[in-house]
Amino acid sequence: MFNQSAKEKGVLGRVLGTLWAFAETLESGSSGYTLDRIEAMERELVLLREELRQIRASGNPASSLDSETIRPTS
């Protein structure tokens, strides 16, 4: 049905095709946004891990981070 020309589909076929395309657009929009946010968070995590690794490798006791100096904020 979706491979036929617009004249062969008729009005109902064109309406259904339009609705199907609209539904796919809505579906991919929210999941696309979510995937973009997840990818951004993963990139930020990689940067933070690298920064922490560099701080620990520097050997400077004033800048070293360990579990005792990191406290969750509430």
Separation CA 6–CA 18 (nearest Å): 11
- Looking at residue 1, its pLDDT comes to 45
Structural domain includes residue 16: yes
Structural domain includes residue 24: yes
Q: What is the pTM of this model?
A: 0.44
Q: Residue 14: which residues within 8 A CB-CB, separation 6 or more? A: 6
Separation CA 23–CA 17 (nearest Å): 10
Number of domains forming the structure of the chain: 1
Structural domain includes residue 67: no
According to the per-residue pLDDT averaged within each range, which of 7-11, 12-16, 50-54 is highest?
Answer: 50-54
Burial class (CB in 10 A: 0-12, 13-18, 19+), 13: middle
Structural domain includes residue 8: yes
Average pLDDT over residues 3-13: 68
pLDDT (tens digit, 9 = 90+) per residue, 38-66? 999 999 999 999 999 999 998 866 555 55
Host domain of residue 49: 1-57
